[in-house]
């Protein structure tokens, strides 16, 4: 049987890493013994906390050329967020909860996308549909992914299905959702020991928005001011990255996981359109966005609409 590579997006978050591991376990239960999980970037402290808690090894970093290789994508579909050689791979399956964009294949495939808060929620349904065993560590990773993507059920992307899934899994994983969730989120929230590069890349995605190339990073914290104390350094690095990668916009979303608000830092020639997207005036390339915590639902659609607005 040919090897199957399973991985989430670049700059992986907890859902991307957890879903790759979970999907590999799912595939192995179908009889695909050659299914293996991989990652497209470094493991963040929040994700490492979850892996350590449930005693799961991190996936191997993917370095192989995927030309003519079988792959399964989880937690993403857009090619610019995927492996560099993804266009030459044979995509067999996608499991995702994001928009579908910049994606095409030469052959039919299994594609499952649902408007829930987390890919792991969809994977849980797939296990239940097939009657597959959910081991404690798999249950733990599912819970971790849901808590991460929903900010402990506070994000507007969180659905009742996400909440019910976590509730159904907590006994298997043997965790208290509230206490475990807070500990996990806080593990990834300190930025004092992170480099500027780490802050900008730990959870960053590129998007094609009409004629514009936009890069949006997000960092969760318990102290927004802690991050913005380094605004000059962040701005310089964002401008350099934008020049090298030819981004029209680079937006950093700094999210307070306790109070569920965000502050953004924006660089690029289309900065004024970001202000219009949120109906705010940018001051020193920044703006406070009360109640905004979800990049997928509260940032990407708004900026996309503003960039594509006909003047």
Q: Are the C-beta atoms of residues 176 and 53 closer than 8 Å to each other?
A: no
Strand partners, 286: 265, 283
* 8-state DSSP, 256: E
- The residue whose two tokens read 């930025």 is 191
75 is in an annotated binding site: yes
13 is in an annotated binding site: yes
Q: Are the C-beta atoms of residues 147 and 181 closer than 8 Å to each other?
A: yes
215 is in an annotated binding site: no
184 closest CA partner among 136, 140, 154, 134: 140
15 is in an annotated binding site: yes
**Residue 16: enclosing H or E segment and its boundaries?**
helix 14-29
Q: Are the C-beta atoms of residues 123 and 22 closer than 8 Å to each other?
A: yes
- The residue whose two tokens read 């991989």 is 38
93 is in an annotated binding site: no
- The residue whose two tokens read 């159904």 is 168
Rounded distance between C-alpha atoms, residue 96 and residue 30, angstroms: 19
Strand partners, 287: 264
End-to-end CA distance of the chain: 55
- Annotated binding residues: 9, 13, 15, 75, 97, 149
- Annotated binding residues for Mn(2+): 9, 13, 15, 75, 97, 149
């Amino acid at each position: 049987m040919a090897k199957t590579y399973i991985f989430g997006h670049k700059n992986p978050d907890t859902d991307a890493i957890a879903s790759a591991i979970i999907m590999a376990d799912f595939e192995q239960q179908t009889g695909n013994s050659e299914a293996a999980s991989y990652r497209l970037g470094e493991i963040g402290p929040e994700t490492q906390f979850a892996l350590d808690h449930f005693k799961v090894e991190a996936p191997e970093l993917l370095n192989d050329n995927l030309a003519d290789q079988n792959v399964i994508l989880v937690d993403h579909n857009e090619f610019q967020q995927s492996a560099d050689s993804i266009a030459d791979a044979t995509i067999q399956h996608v499991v995702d909860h994001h928009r579908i964009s910049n994606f095409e294949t030469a052959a039919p495939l299994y594609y499952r996308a649902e408007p829930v808060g987390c890919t792991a929620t969809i994977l849980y349904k797939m296990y239940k549909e097939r009657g597959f065993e959910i081991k404690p560590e798999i249950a733990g990773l599912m819970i971790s992914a849901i808590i991460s993507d929903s900010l402990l059920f506070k994000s507007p992307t969180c659905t009742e299905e996400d909440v019910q899934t976590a509730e159904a899994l907590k006994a298997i994983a043997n965790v208290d959702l509230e206490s475990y969730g807070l500990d996990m989120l806080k593990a990834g929230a300190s930025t004092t020991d992170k480099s500027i590069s780490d802050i900008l890349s730990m959870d960053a995605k590129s998007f094609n928005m009409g004629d514009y190339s936009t890069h949006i990073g997000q960092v969760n914290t318990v102290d927004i001011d802690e991050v913005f104390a380094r605004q000059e350094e962040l701005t310089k690095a964002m401008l350099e990255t934008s020049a090298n990668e030819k981004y029209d916009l680079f937006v950093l979303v700094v999210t307070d996981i306790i109070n569920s608000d965000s502050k953004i830092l924006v660089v690029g020639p289309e900065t004024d359109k970001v202000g219009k997207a949120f109906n705010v005036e940018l001051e020193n390339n920044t703006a406070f966005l009360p109640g905004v915590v979800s990049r997928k639902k509260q940032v990407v659609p708004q900026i996309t609409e503003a960039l594509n607005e006909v003047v």
